Amino acid sequence: MVEFYDNKGQVRSSVIRSITSLDGFDGSLEDTLLLHHGIDLVEHDALLSAWRGKVKYDLVRPTTVIRQWGNDEIDTFGGDFSETESKVIKAKDFEAVIRVMPHSEYPSGSASICKAYADFARAYTEGVGLDEPVVKKPWDIPDMKAIRLQCGESRLWGGMHFPASIPAGYKIVEGMGKLGYDRIKEIGNGSNFTSKWQKGIGRRRPNNSLCGQRTDSNNAAIEEKARAAPAEVSSSEQIYLRSSLQVYLMSALVWFCF
């Protein structure tokens, strides 16, 4: 579980699959893109919020503190993944279950990102009238609240964080999931993405002496010319493309930082 939640790509993919597998999910390319874009947005903002806290507080990891206890004996993970029991070792030999990133401990970036994923998933499914998603792989996770709790607790089980970092990570992203859903709803702008409008098609000049009268043959010629030209990009698509470029560049840091 510690390794699964450490890999945010796996967590994110599991959340997305839990939504797209629900009965009633539209499944169109456009709606799927908006779903991915929404989770990109909250991931991006959660990362920035957590990083701001890490720079501000600059606190050490448990490994640094525990090793200072020297020859004191502690009952903990012994380093062998095949063993199912803890082991008594000297504190100076302590290692976390997985690698510890070389940046500040507080607040937990993983807790922030996982809560942002979970809150966005709940806001999305509520907004489009779907049931709350249930994750089936790598094991059954009953709801998005469980995703958030397990992800946060896994950072304690693995020895990467102190307890105070987890609720602090949750707190700084409160409401972010709903904001992410509101943003993609704004981008969608109520469209069902079935229109094939192109510039010039369907336009008619007013029938008056100032503008003149357009005949059916003129209309047909204009429409034929428009079909041969590249399609216009809608304002919603322009917003999506601009914001995507910003988000994808920053979200790439997740794979290297948490």
The helix (run of H) or strand (run of E) holding residue 73 is: strand 73-76
Q: pTM for this one?
A: 0.73
Residue 158, token pair as written in the block:
């693995």
Mean pLDDT of 224-251: 53
Residue, of 167 and 83, whose pLDDT is higher:
167
State what percent of residues in the chain have pLDDT above 90: 42
Dist CA 247 CA 41 (whole Å): 6
User: Architecture of 2-61+96-197+232-257 per CATH?
Assistant: Orthogonal Bundle (1.10)
Asked which of 76-85, 154-163, 204-213 is least confident by mean pLDDT, the reply is 204-213
pLDDT given for residue 47 in this prediction: 93
pLDDT given for residue 228 in this prediction: 59
Residue 24, token pair as written in the block:
């009633």
Strands 73-76, 87-90: pairing kind: antiparallel
Mean pLDDT of 1-24: 88
pLDDT given for residue 206 in this prediction: 44
Dist CA 49 CA 41 (whole Å): 12
